[in-house]
Chain A
Amino acid sequence: MTDPTQNRGSQNHGQRDRTAWTDEQVELFVGNLLRVGVIVAATVAVIGGVLYLARYGSTVAQYHVFHGEPDELRSVRAVLRDAFHLRSKSVVQLGLLILIATPIARVALSLFAFVRQRDRTYVAITAIVLALLIYGLTGASA
């Protein structure tokens, strides 16, 4: 197998095409993206948490018997729908979904960066990872 990108010189970032992003620039952007993602996720979850505790705070906790979450807390679409109606548990779940999405966004961004760098091998590798992640979040069910 010959790799058409092999002699592009990944050892020396300075020799790269000026219009392409360097690994360092991408990483810096990604670091900020993750931080913003975590802050947004935590904020949404806390808002939902306040609503949740206001409503259910004085009820008796039941976690030692497993019954699974109801359907409206199990899918991305249902959580989005109910969160906008300010159902407290759905708002918390939306915050958790945003959190789960942050590493996925990071992989998506890396894919974009590898496309810009015309690095075909890593476009393929990153696309596989992204596909597995999206499958986990949307497609896989028990």
Chain B
Amino acid sequence: MTVLTLTTLIALGSFGAGMLGALTGLGGGMIIVPMLTLLFGVDIRYAIGASLVSVIATSSGAAAAYVREGYTNIRIGMLLEIATTCGALIGAYVAGLISTSAIAIIFSLVLVYSAYRSFQPRDEHGTGGASDRWAIRLRLEGTFPTPNGMQAYSVHRVPVGFSLMFVAGILSGLLGIGSGAVKVLAMDQAMRLPFKVSTTTSNFMIGVTAAASAGVYLHRGYIDPGLALPVMLGVLAGALTGARILTVAKVGALRTVFSIVIVGLAIEMLYKGIRGGL
């Protein structure tokens, strides 16, 4: 296959991945790496490098839209960034030490978990109750706009959220994904932030976390310009298109299909990881 053909195919595939990622809320990075490795036979280290770049593009590209809505809690984001950037640097470092088979096996497990999480209802919990003492000391509480005006929310279990974010950072640096599923777990479930606040704050954090490990990948020579370019442009265009049609699309059925695809990819990655075919 010539470079031109491969570049075109990868750009088209990345467009589809970015669009599905935005529509289902799972993120494009989830399928970029399996797509590149299983479909195009790209070495998993190049695939992770390209995916990291696309994660940054999606996060930064979406941020401008989120900012207008005014939900991001920059204090929470920044505090948790200490955990995720530390984790991301460690993850990127570990990625250079362990075998590609081990990376593939871990990746497939995270894929299955993320698909499972996407089916868990994200019910809007109450915004009241007393914040924990860390939240008060670090002034993490905030307000968000509702139809009835600005509403204050409290912040719970900061140490648990912080620890989960450390794990999210490690996975991000190790696998080149945004780790959206773990970030949601930390902010929705543990810290009990309002849905919109955790989504937008998570988007901000995903870009910063990926930037931390992208630097390490660059130094290692894992970021190939010929590969990262079509992935980055494809995912970015796909994510922006997906966000635009999000309001009219029937997401329920799409999510089911997407999750089945993800589980299928996970099984193949697990198989190849164990057999050592990657």
Interface residues in B67-110 by Cβ distance below 8 A to A read 67-68, 70, 72, 74-75, 78-79, 81-82, 85-86, 88-89, 92-93, 96
Q: Is A35 engaged at the interface, CB distance under 8 Å to the other chain?
A: yes
B211 and A140: CB pair below 8 A? no
Q: Which residues of B contact A80 (CB under 8 A)?
A: none
Q: Which residues of B contact A74 (CB under 8 A)?
A: 218-221
B220 and A49: CB pair below 8 A? no
Q: Which residues of B contact A89 (CB under 8 A)?
A: 225-226
Q: Is A19 engaged at the interface, CB distance under 8 Å to the other chain?
A: no
Instruction: Determine which of B43, B85, B230 lies in contact with A132 in the assembled complex, contact meaning CB atoms within 8 Å.
Output: B85
Provided the pairs A10-B139, A56-B3, A132-B212 are in contact, do residues A96 and B64 lie with their beta carbons within 8 angstroms? no
Chain B min CB distance to A112 (Å): 13
In Å, the complex CA distance between A83 and B216 comes to: 20
Instruction: Determine which of B6, B42, B75, B211 lies in contact with A100 in the assembled complex, contact meaning CB atoms within 8 Å.
Output: B211
Q: Which residues of B contact A128 (CB under 8 A)?
A: 82
B7 and A100: CB pair below 8 A? no
B96 and A99: CB pair below 8 A? no
A49 and B229: CB pair below 8 A? yes
A52 and B60: CB pair below 8 A? no
B72 and A96: CB pair below 8 A? no
B141 and A11: CB pair below 8 A? yes
A75-108: CB near B (< 8 Å → 1, else 0) gives: 1000000000000011011011101111110110
In Å, the complex CA distance between A41 and B236 comes to: 12
In Å, the complex CA distance between A138 and B89 comes to: 12
A38 and B4: CB pair below 8 A? no
B229 and A92: CB pair below 8 A? yes
In Å, the complex CA distance between A35 and B236 comes to: 12
Residue of A nearest to B89 (CB): A136
Q: Which residues of A contact B208 (CB under 8 A)?
A: 103-104, 106-107, 129, 133
Interface residues in A13-57 by Cβ distance below 8 A to B read 23-24, 26-28, 30-32, 34-35, 37-38, 41-42, 45-46, 48-49, 52-53, 56-57
In Å, the complex CA distance between A104 and B46 comes to: 23
Instruction: Determine which of A53, A136, A141 lies in contact with B212 in the assembled complex, contact meaning CB atoms within 8 Å.
Output: A136
Instruction: Determine which of A35, A100, A102 lies in contact with B215 in the assembled complex, contact meaning CB atoms within 8 Å.
Output: A100
Chain B min CB distance to A130 (Å): 9
In Å, the complex CA distance between A26 and B212 comes to: 22
- Residues of chain B touching chain A, judged by Cβ–Cβ distance below 8 Å, are 1-7, 40-43, 45-46, 53, 56-57, 59-61, 63-64, 66-68, 70, 72, 74-75, 78-79, 81-82, 85-86, 88-89, 92-93, 96, 137-139, 141, 143, 152, 204, 207-208, 210-216, 218-230, 232-233, 236
- Residues of chain A touching chain B, judged by Cβ–Cβ distance below 8 Å, are 3, 6, 10-11, 23-24, 26-28, 30-32, 34-35, 37-38, 41-42, 45-46, 48-49, 52-53, 56-61, 63-66, 68-70, 73-75, 89-90, 92-93, 95-97, 99-104, 106-107, 110, 121-122, 125-126, 128-129, 132-133, 135-138, 140-142
Known: A68-B221, A102-B60, A110-B78. 10 other contacts (CB 8 A): A35-B63, A42-B236, A45-B232, A64-B42, A99-B57, A102-B211, A103-B208, A104-B208, A107-B208, A136-B89
